[in-house]
A and B are shown apart, each in its own frame.
Chain A
């Protein structure tokens, strides 16, 4: 058999039928459903008089529309009142396992799937959410789908898909101290554009990935879609298998041994052909932050905003100067020192336990600056419990952060957790689109340490500098 990439191997193992011309019918091993996109498609299916084909491979949880306030209910937001009861009724009627708002495993789908061992190396995972690429961090083939495909998966447990082109991003060296996977991927998107990988599936490889913890790989894969790729993936290795072992729904005993033998085959062949390869020296990447309204509008945290005229395409120059207008910034400005009113640590990009540990290191013994609303929104109830066992919640609350319940929160303005017009937020989420955090909101995407440092300083600040200054206590 010809040499194949990791993506091609997983793809081939899921082909139910080939239509020719690169279009295949693929089996879906895990279908994750949430409150925002799930109820409408479940409704469409019922309208057509069709049952859910494989409810035992389908898992649901509310995350997008719910409040993350402590003591919340599904009645706290307008969208939640509309959608959470509908999700509950329809999943119950179809026999789909729901991790409801009061379930000890509730959380953001892309945090909970891996955490419960629902996501496994080599499986196909889809969800009506573009950040389903996150699951590639475990060596799963995950991608986001629209409503029509969602209904199709519910009805048939399969999907019609075009074979993507293959890209490999080789990250050599190691990330420097205080530099996060988020910085690496923002740098990649900044260098190659928000459509740098449009039409491709992206495999991240190289020594910086080999040495990267699994949660960091999920962050890296989470932003594949911001790079234009529906799919991002890292070949599973011993670190992955250690992460998966013992998870609630992961195989155990003899099944584990069988699975492990199969998972060890999941790597691109040495002579596999990629349509495109990009190399990055991870050691040269510094903390990054976005200055505009696309994840490609990225710069070094201690740099200056580039001149829109430096863009190659004329239309991009106009888009960049409009972005600066929206952000209330000018070319040549430094972002260090720019005052912020909000800090959001959370989202499917950066809300796992290692993210909260990184943030706590910066926050411990310090105070949130006056006038800053700073939130930590753990990605799941499990993350929240573990953080509390480690005492991280007290680190955050003592500093003046709000310690909240799991959900998508300030990543997207559908749950009334918004940034007011004209105000500035440093966010660990993945989208700085116009209106994403609310109409007129100004979003700067960054890593966890940079977000934490902004909360303490009340302005955009370098966490490496803060780390050198003594904390109070």
Chain B
């Protein structure tokens, strides 16, 4: 997995609430493969019904081309557990999403893919969005701090273990495989306590 220490660049203001993962990666495009997943990411927002690029969508505007930061609305990426939503956002070049709240499943999947989700109060996201298009933002994971184009800094919190994972770029499977003894011990103890969980008569 790609590690993450800091990113610097434009921030895309896309503050629509409740953007769900069916919007981020429509299932039809998921089935068409990786290229379609990226090309049609946010399809209902980025394209008009006749298939043309929608110039009103910030994701299509020159000012935000290759921007590494997304300023999103509340409950961003709610709904389906599909991790294609994370992959599509990464493929668009985005490394950090700042929103008032996230779909919980999406939030955790970000950390497995080198994408940093930051939850801030709505007013703080609005304040950052007021400067979108006015220059470069910087998100520093080591210092847990966002710097706006005007030089204002906003601190953010992130779970220390998840932060460490992003900084190191090690995925969690690798880390957990090192704990096989603890897993085996747990199952042995638990089998005594709750044998019905492990002894399925008809399998």
Contact = CB atoms under 8 A, between A and B. Distances in A.
Interface in B1-29: 15-18, 20, 22-23, 26-28
Contacts of A25: 176, 179, 182
Nearest to A41: B83
Given A433-B23, A440-B49, A146 B196 contact: no
Contacts of B201: 249, 251-252
A443 to B, nearest CB: 11
A414 B75 CA distance: 24
Nearest to A199: B104
B101 A199 contact: yes
Given A56-B203, A412-B27, A259 B102 contact: no
A144 interface: yes
B45 to A, nearest CB: 9
A157 B43 CA distance: 36
A251 B196 contact: yes
B173 A195 contact: no
Interface in A73-122: 78-79, 82, 97, 118, 120, 122
A145 B196 contact: no
Contacts of A226: 79
Contacts of A313: 17, 74, 122
Interface string A47-90: 01010011011000000000000000000001100100000000
B39 interface: no
Contact of B18 (A48, A149, A157, A296): A296
A160 B17 contact: no
A151 B190 CA distance: 23
Contact of A37 (B81, B101, B102, B104): B81
A155 B79 contact: no
A162 B105 CA distance: 11
A152 B78 contact: no
B203 A151 contact: no
A417 to B, nearest CB: 12
A122 to B, nearest CB: 8
A439 interface: yes
Interface string B175-199: 0110110110011001001111111
Interface stretch (A15-23, A203-211, A386-394): A15-23
A173 interface: no
B23 A435 contact: yes
A434 interface: yes
Contacts, number: 196
A352 interface: no
Given A56-B200, A149-B108, A255-B196, A319 B17 contact: yes
A184 to B, nearest CB: 20
A464 B80 CA distance: 33
A171 interface: no
Interface string A129-151: 11000000000000111111101
Interface string B24-61: 00111011000000000001100001000000000000
B103 interface: yes
- Which among B106, B159, B186 has the highest number of chain A CB atoms within 10 Å? B186
Given A144-B81, A319-B16, A120 B196 contact: yes
A413 B82 CA distance: 14
A130 B105 contact: yes
A79 B16 CA distance: 31
B79 A130 contact: yes
Nearest to B160: A21
B46 to A, nearest CB: 12
A195 B74 contact: yes
B172 A433 contact: no
B31 A146 contact: no
A148 B109 contact: yes
B38 to A, nearest CB: 16
A467 interface: no
A272 interface: no
B23 to A, nearest CB: 6
A406 to B, nearest CB: 19
B109 A146 contact: yes
A248 B201 CA distance: 8
B39 to A, nearest CB: 15
Contact of B104 (A157, A230, A294): A230
B17 A316 contact: yes
Contacts of B140: none
Given A27-B190, A147-B109, A315-B17, 4 more contacts: A148-B171, A152-B172, A413-B27, A431-B79
Interface of B: 15-18, 20, 22-23, 26-28, 30-31, 43-44, 49, 73-75, 78-83, 86, 101-106, 108-109, 112-113, 122, 159-162, 171-173, 176-177, 179-180, 182-183, 186-187, 190, 193-203
- Sorted nearest first, the 8 A-B pairs with minimum C-beta distance are A195-B75, A148-B112, A146-B109, A251-B196, A146-B83, A147-B83, A433-B22, A144-B81
9 contacts: A57-B198, A128-B81, A151-B173, A160-B172, A195-B74, A315-B16, A412-B27, A433-B20, A440-B49
Interface of A: 16-17, 19-23, 25, 27, 29, 37, 48, 50, 53-54, 56-57, 78-79, 82, 97, 118, 120, 122-123, 128-130, 143-149, 151-152, 155-158, 160-162, 164, 193-195, 198-199, 225-226, 228-230, 248-249, 251-252, 255-256, 258-259, 262, 294, 296, 313, 315-316, 318-319, 412-414, 431, 433-436, 439-440
